[in-house]
């Protein structure tokens, strides 16, 4: 298996430093102690937001009315796909029971968390799709209370199209609040929201660190870093398509790596030749961030076989994995480590980012080697139950007692023994003593 690097990543995506961790720790401590007033102080200091935090129904309706009808229809179309995919996922999570032996019945239940907090990022871009992905998925899972937060965009608050998406997806309440203070509002139950059982949604380094520090007493979707993408291509791929797909993902941010692996050197060279011009055609600030991402973190490798390409992909564990090669069934069966897989030239990661249905909140930084992305399952607790009757007690008491005593846990053994004495007949007890 031979891999030749035609373009090395010249830099490394920065990890959250101790300064971020320390800052977040102090902020969370202040927010926990001071509650809503401290959150208001941070909103004023960091975002320049002095208006109300809780978005009213009247404000939501006014924002919806300002969204052009065509854009509302597009958001509805994407929401329909995302919701239907989540509903199909929910149908795979079933309650069940089984009689393991006569008198021994066990089962599982799927119980939604009571309250979820969905962070919808703002900043450079208006992340309409992120609102749909997190909120609609929680709603389909059966979460009864969903708080959604997003930072203000200047003096106008949350953008109209974002409010429309948050509302149509099923948010119980919407807070105009970003950053660590937004995460804290959901975690600590500020502004009349219940304390969240789980926090989900992407955000900047401070948001990710806040989720990391809060994890334990409450759940999170994942430890998220900068988005990343890998294209696998053979000689059948179109260099123009591969190049624009890489540039489109580099647009996410200066710390977002994009990679390409191919078995065809002429394709790789053609793609690398096209990328600088495609980046230069982007508007600012997209152009600058894509240029930095490609220059510092872009990687192109030449592989001797498609199996080598697949092994390279499994080692990367890319968030987005796009195959532009023949025999897509082989790739679907072979590939094992990715957040979401995009098969064929007709498909693009942008479809998954915005509208096609499967969730775009995905594992980054190689985490796809051990976990998947956000789904209805993240909002469900798979819990178990069991029930026994006298038919199974002799064997169950004997085996549990023997194992307990082998482990030197006499109290466990005696709590089993008493049930043989209490719930079985003298004849049965005599046989088993």
Kindly report, residue by residue over 52-86, the tens digit of the pLDDT: 999 999 999 999 999 999 999 999 999 999 999 99
Same domain, 234 and 205: no
Same domain, 261 and 352: yes
**Residue 284: band (very low, low, confident or very high) from pLDDT cuts 50, 70, 90:** very high
Looking at residue 421, its pLDDT comes to 85
Q: Is the pLDDT of residue 416 over 60?
A: yes
What's the total number of domains in the chain?
A: 3
The percentage of the chain sitting over the pLDDT mark of 70, rounded to a whole number, equals 96
β-bridge partners, 108: 96, 384
Residue count (the chain): 433
pLDDT digits (tens, 9 = 90+) for 375-404: 999 999 999 999 999 999 999 999 999 999
Using the Cα atoms of residue 124, residue 126, residue 130 and residue 131 in order, give the sign of their dihedral.
positive
Looking at residue 81, its pLDDT comes to 98
Same domain, 180 and 68: yes
Looking at residue 353, its pLDDT comes to 95
Q: What is the mean pLDDT of the chain?
A: 95
Listed residue (178, 193, 188) closest to 45, CA to CA = 178
Same domain, 147 and 247: no
What count of Cα atoms within 13 Å lies in the side-chain half-sphere of residue 305?
Answer: 5
**Residue 12: band (very low, low, confident or very high) from pLDDT cuts 50, 70, 90:** low
Same domain, 60 and 208: yes
Listed residue (59, 51, 39) closest to 167, CA to CA = 59
What count of Cα atoms within 13 Å lies in the side-chain half-sphere of residue 154?
Answer: 6
Same domain, 313 and 411: no
DSSP code of 171?
-
Q: Quick count: other Cβ atoms within 10 Å of Cβ 250? A: 28
Looking at residue 427, its pLDDT comes to 59
CA separation for the pair 279, 289 (Å, rounded): 9
Residues 373/340, Cβ–Cβ less than 8 Å: yes
Contacts of 241 (CB under 8 A, 6+ apart): 324, 345
Residues 199/220, Cβ–Cβ less than 8 Å: yes
Of the listed ranges 231-235, 290-294, 426-430, the least confidently predicted one is: 426-430
Judge whether 56 lies within some domain. Answer: yes
Catalytic residue check, 264: no
Whether the pTM exceeds 0.85: the reply is: yes
Judge whether 24 lies within some domain. Answer: no
Same domain, 74 and 137: yes
CATH number assigned to the domain comprising residue 183: 3.40.50.1980
| Catalytic-role residue among 59, 209, 319, 345 | 319
Judge whether 25 lies within some domain. Answer: no
Same domain, 256 and 335: yes
**Sheet architecture: strand order including 380-388:** 96-101, 104-112, 380-388
Q: Is the pLDDT of residue 11 over 70?
A: no
Computed over its alpha carbons, how large is the radius of gyration of the chain?
Answer: 26
- Cβ burial of 338 (10 Å; 0-12, 13-18, 19+) is buried
| Catalytic-role residue among 79, 127, 252, 320 | 320
Q: Is the pLDDT of residue 14 over 60?
A: no
Cis peptide before 385 (omega within 30 of 0): no
DSSP structure string for 354-369: HTSSS------TTGGG
Looking at residue 123, its pLDDT comes to 79
Looking at residue 340, its pLDDT comes to 98
Contacts of 348 (CB under 8 A, 6+ apart): 245, 248, 322, 342
Same domain, 313 and 409: no
Looking at per-residue confidence, does 60 or 155 come out higher? Answer: 60
Judge whether 23 lies within some domain. Answer: no
Looking at residue 428, its pLDDT comes to 58
Judge whether 291 lies within some domain. Answer: yes
**Residue 360: band (very low, low, confident or very high) from pLDDT cuts 50, 70, 90:** very high
Catalytic residue check, 99: no
Looking at residue 375, its pLDDT comes to 97
Task: Label the pairing between strands 3-7 and 299-303.
Answer: antiparallel
pLDDT digits (tens, 9 = 90+) for 185-216: 999 999 999 999 999 999 999 999 999 999 99
Judge whether 19 lies within some domain. Answer: no
Same domain, 295 and 256: yes
CA separation for the pair 249, 251 (Å, rounded): 5
Same domain, 89 and 154: yes
Buried/exposed code over 94-114 (b: 16+ C-beta within 10 A; e: otherwise): eeeeeeeeebbbeebebebbe
Range of the domain at 241: 3-14+226-372
**Residue 429: band (very low, low, confident or very high) from pLDDT cuts 50, 70, 90:** low
CA separation for the pair 239, 134 (Å, rounded): 34
Domain end, chosen from 359, 381, 403, is at 381
Judge whether 28 lies within some domain. Answer: no
Same domain, 68 and 151: yes
pLDDT digits (tens, 9 = 90+) for 87-124: 999 999 999 999 999 999 999 999 999 999 999 998 78
Q: Is the pLDDT of residue 152 over 90?
A: yes
Looking at residue 126, its pLDDT comes to 87
Rounded to 10 degrees, the C-alpha dihedral 161/164/170/175 comes to: 70
- Cβ burial of 314 (10 Å; 0-12, 13-18, 19+) is middle
Judge whether 27 lies within some domain. Answer: no
């Amino acid at each position: 298996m031979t891999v030749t690097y035609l373009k090395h990543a010249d830099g490394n995506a920065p990890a959250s430093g101790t300064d971020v961790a320390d800052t977040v720790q102090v902020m969370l401590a202040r927010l926990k102690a001071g509650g809503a007033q401290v959150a208001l102080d941070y909103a004023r200091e960091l975002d320049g937001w002095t208006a109300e935090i809780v978005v009213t129904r009247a404000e939501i309706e006014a924002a919806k009315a300002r969204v052009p009808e065509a854009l509302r229809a597009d958001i509805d179309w994407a929401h329909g796909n995302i919701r239907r995919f989540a509903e199909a996922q929910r149908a795979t999570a079933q309650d069940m029971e089984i009689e393991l032996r006569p008198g021994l019945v066990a089962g599982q239940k799927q119980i939604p968390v009571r309250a979820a907090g969905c962070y919808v990022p703002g900043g450079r871009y208006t992340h309409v799709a992120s609102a749909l992905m997190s909120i609609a998925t929680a709603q389909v899972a059966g979460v009864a209370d969903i708080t959604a937060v997003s930072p203000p965009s200047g003096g106008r608050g949350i953008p109209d199209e974002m409010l429309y998406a948050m509302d149509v997806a099923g948010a119980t309440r919407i807070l105009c609040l970003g950053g660590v203070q937004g995460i804290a509002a959901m975690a600590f139950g500020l502004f009349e929201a219940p304390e969240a059982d789980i926090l989900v949604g992407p955000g900047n380094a401070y948001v990710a660190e806040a989720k990391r520090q809060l994890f334990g007493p409450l759940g999170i979707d994942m430890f998220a870093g900068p988005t990343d993408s890998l294209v696998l291509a053979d000689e059948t791929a179109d260099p123009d398509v591969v190049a624009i797909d890489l540039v489109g993902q580099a647009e996410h941010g200066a710390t977002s790596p994009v990679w390409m692996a191919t078995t065809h050197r002429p394709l790789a060279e053609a793609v690398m030749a096209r990328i600088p011009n495609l980046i230069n055609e982007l508007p600012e600030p997209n152009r600058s961030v894509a240029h930095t991402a490609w220059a510092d973190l872009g990687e192109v490798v030449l592989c001797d076989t498609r199996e080598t390409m697949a092994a390279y992909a499994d080692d990367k564990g890319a968030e987005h994995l796009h195959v532009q090669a023949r025999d897509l069934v082989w790739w679907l069966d072979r590939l094992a480590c990715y957040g979401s897989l995009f098969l064929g030239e007709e498909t693009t990661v942008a479809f998954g980012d915005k509208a096609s249905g499967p969730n775009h909140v995905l594992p980054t930084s190689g985490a796809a080697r051990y976990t998947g992305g956000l789904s209805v399952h993240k909002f469900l607790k798979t819990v178990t139950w069991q029930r026994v009757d006298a038919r199974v007690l002799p064997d169950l008491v004997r085996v549990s007692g023997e194992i307990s005593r082998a482990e030197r846990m006499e109290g466990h053994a005696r709590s089993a023994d008493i049930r043989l004495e209490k719930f079985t007949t003298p004849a049965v007890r005599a046989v088993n003593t």
